[in-house]
Structure 1
Amino acid sequence: MTEVIKINETPIPPEKLVSHLKTYQMLPQLLRELIIDRAIAPIECSPEEVEKAKKEYLTQNRLTDPKQVQAWLQYNHLNQEEFEKIAIRKYKLKKFKQETWGVKVESYFLQRKRDLDQVVYSLLRTKDHSIATELYFRLQNQEASFEELAQKYSEGAEAETRGIIGPVPVTTPHEKVSEMLLKSEVGQLWPPVRIGEWSIIVRLEKLISAQLDEPTRQKLIHELFSKWLEEEVKKQIKIEPLDTETSEVA
């Protein structure tokens, strides 16, 4: 049975769908999903996996009550069979990711570890370099705490946190700040450095080394999958005008 989308009883012609997808910037996502469908098509699910897929989908979407499930189906214009297809598809995609990139994640983690490491650091910045120099010597001589001086003199948002920033990935700060933090020992205080209009003082408070735990493993597998998917979209997808005469003859 062919389905037609209607708005106020006015049907949307199928030939207009691609135009609408482009206009609403939904076409790239549709193309990705089509590539995924082709990739996961060979994957089989046992009856036990089918039941597991449905339960996982309902749990992940917090659909624990039959009334909630029915309302969700109605809102999304789905029947039970279509829901099962969606749940199974998501489960098959998870299997595809694990089977394809699970064995590669350890080496990829080593490549990405520097970006995944996190830091907590203290930051004080001012546009007056002479004040920055004076504050640095006060800190070096332990005449005041970093927290106290940052709250009083820092001209950035870090003044509200008494100079403390993080934990954040070590690559999140400005490139010069990241370089300083990567070279630092915990507690190391850096003399004022100019970055643009600012003079900044930085001290590393804590280095949190990334671990390949399960959340990180899943994050990296998804990164590898996303890179593959974007490459496949570029390679495989073409959008061309339909030759209506050829189509009719065929």
Structure 2
Amino acid sequence: MNQEILQIGGINIHAHEVPSLLQRYQVIPQIQRGIIIDQAISNILLTESEAAAAIDECKNRCQITSDDELKTWLQNQGMTLEKMTDLAIRAWKIEKFKIATWEKKVESYFLKRKASLDQVIYSLIRHQDQGIAAEIYFRIQAEEQSFAELAREYSQGAEVRTSGIIGPVPLNQLHPIISNILSVSQPGQLWPPRPMGECFIILRLEKLLPAQLDEMMRRRLIDELFEQWLNEQVKQLSRESLITLQAA
């Protein structure tokens, strides 16, 4: 006998259908993430003041400023106060776990990642005609017209709206050709046309903005390390689950 366990939108879902539904809607990876995180933070403890701060932070994030607003929010979310408290405390435990695990590794990771974290401001002109691109380059080089003027007049990309100026943007988010050129450029250095896709591009580095290991960057890198670890744990758990399933 198929036992009905859930009804959604008038559709009855039976126990034997759940595994295939979890796979179809790609829910299993999220469940795996949750299980791995819960195991990792099982020994993390919060003081009373930390627990209170976690709840206050959750209220602030949800813009809850009164008991009436809290009651309404809980009703809208279909959640009890106890469940909200558990989620708030869990979030703080995760942050404590991240810091305890990766805080001491941030500096070396930052040095490893710094080249891709640096940001640049640069000027770009692109044109499909190689001859026109070369003419534009020589005009800039001879200071007959400014880069901005020629970008507005000739560039065939979105940069036409910003007089050719792009950035600040991290080097690792740029097209590899542009990133490689700018990574070896000096501010003010003008590069002659070179092919990129269907266009020829003219580049000039305007400003290099070296990444700094400030508090915001520190938090970002800790989050990166956490996600790398978590993704690897999910992959490992998935492999083990597959082996178990095949053995069964």
TM-score (norm. length: structure 2):
0.90
Superposed, 1:101-250 pairs within 5 Å as: 101-237=102-238, 238=241
CA pair 46-16 structure 1, distance change in 2 beyond 3 A: farther
Question: Is contact 2:118–2:171 with CA below 8 Å preserved after alignment?
Answer: yes
C-alpha RMSD of the superposition = 2.1
Q: CA deviation at 1:7?
A: 3.4
SS at match of 1:120: strand
- 2:46 maps to 45
AA of the residue aligned to 1:195: M
- 1:67 maps to 68
Q: CA deviation at 1:57?
A: 1.5
> What is the CA–CA distance in structure 2 between the aligned matches of 1:71 and 1:27, rounded to whole Å?
32
Q: CA deviation at 1:196?
A: 2.5
> What is the CA–CA distance in structure 2 between the aligned matches of 1:50 and 1:106, rounded to whole Å?
29
CA pair 71-26 structure 1, distance change in 2 beyond 3 A: farther
SS at match of 1:63: coil
Q: CA deviation at 1:120?
A: 0.6
Q: CA deviation at 1:48?
A: 1.6
- 2:98 maps to 97
- 1:26 maps to 27
Unaligned runs of 5+ in 2: none
AA of the residue aligned to 1:203: R
TM-score (norm. length: structure 1):
0.89
SS at match of 2:190: coil
Unaligned runs of 5+ in 1: none
Question: Is contact 2:32–2:237 with CA below 8 Å preserved after alignment?
Answer: no
Q: Which stretch of structure 1 is more off in the superposition, 213-222 or 166-175?
A: 166-175
Percent identical among aligned pairs is: 46
Q: CA deviation at 1:215?
A: 1.1
Question: Is contact 2:55–2:88 with CA below 8 Å preserved after alignment?
Answer: yes
> What is the CA–CA distance in structure 2 between the aligned matches of 1:127 and 1:174, rounded to whole Å?
17
